[in-house]
Amino acid sequence: MKKLVITIDGPAGAGKTTVSKALADRLQYKYIDTGALYRGVAFEAKAKGISPDDEHQLEALCNNLELRFVRNKKGVRLYSGESDISDYIRTPEMSMMASAVSARPVVRKALLGLQRKMGAEKAAVFEGRDMGTVVFPGADVKFFLTADLIIRASRRHKELEEKKLPQNLEAVEKDMARRDNNDSSREVAPLKPADDAILIDSTECSVESVIEQMMKHINEKIAATL
């Protein structure tokens, strides 16, 4: 059976991670969270005192950075060199900093090659902001998943509480709006649906229903390639 590349783009908190993981499980595909890579760059920049505006230092950082995903008992973990940094990249501070470094062309260029390498064997579900537009313009099935801001903010608020990183709902909503604005208005690879993306709004849909809708499109594609 033909191995597909599936992309899921969309704003923060739209449910991309949950549905991408579920699709990858069902299809027995790899799941690649590209936001984690930008968070990895942000984490290392912060650790080395590099400002997200310092293009020159960011370039040097990216040239020496070794980010990779490792599957172990805890799930899929992000390693930078020999260190598992997964537990440090999900804070609200890292979200804003990832958004800031992701606007830098040198960072995008460095991660573009890495992401394409990860997709070389296909059979993968990629989630991010520019998967269908820039990284995999020839992807087999592209989705753009969105939801109203308040719904996305309440979902993220709940997630942060579960991770023992509580933040009040208003602050989450404000940060999210700012991050969406940064991500959609940057010059390089802004967040937007690919022309051939299937748009899904999860505001009034359960996760299961979103997964079912996506699986229907994927199965149609698989059937068309047989």
**Least distance from ligand DC to the Cβ atom of residue 66, Å:** 19
Tell me the per-residue interface mask from 97 to 116 with ligand DC, x by CB under 6 A, - otherwise. -xx--x--------------
Give 175 or 218: the residue with its C-beta nearer to ligand DC: 175
Per-position x/- string for 13-42, each x denoting binding to ligand DC as judged by CB under 6 A, each - no binding: ---------------------xx--xx---
The CB-of-217 to ligand DC minimum distance in angstroms stands at 21
Q: Could you give the CA distance from residue 135 to residue 3 in angstroms, rounded to a whole number?
A: 17
3-class DSSP state of 76? strand
What is the smallest separation between the CB atom of 165 and ligand DC, expressed in angstroms?
A: 14
Beta bridge partners of 198: 143
Tokens of 16: 């991309």
Tokens matching residue 73: 């008992």
Residues sharing a CB contact under 8 Å with residue 166, sequence separation 6 or more, in sequence order: 160
Residues within window 67-96 making contact with ligand DC, judged by CB under 6 A: 95
Q: How far is the CB of 145 from ligand DC (least distance, A)?
A: 11
In three-state secondary structure terms, 127 is strand
Nearer residue to ligand DC within complex by CB, 149 or 222: 149
N-to-C CA span, the chain: 7
For ligand DC (CB under 6 A), the number of binding residues is 15
The full DSSP string for 30-43 is EEEEHHHHHHHHHH
Nearest to 62 by CA among 117, 33, 104: 104
Residue 164 to residue 185: CA distance in whole angstroms: 31
Determine which residue in the list 5, 12, 14, 172 makes contact with ligand DC, applying CB under 6 A: 12
Nearer to ligand DC, 39 or 142 (CB): 39
Q: Exposed (0-12), middle (13-18) or buried (19+): which is 170, by Cβ within 10 Å? A: exposed
* Shortest CB 1 distance to ligand DC, Å: 27
Q: Rule CB under 6 A: which of 117-146 touch ligand DC?
A: 128-131
Considering the complex, what minimum distance in angstroms separates the CB of residue 204 from ligand DC?
A: 22
Binding site for ligand DC (CB under 6 A): 12, 34-35, 38-39, 95, 98-99, 102, 128-131, 179, 183
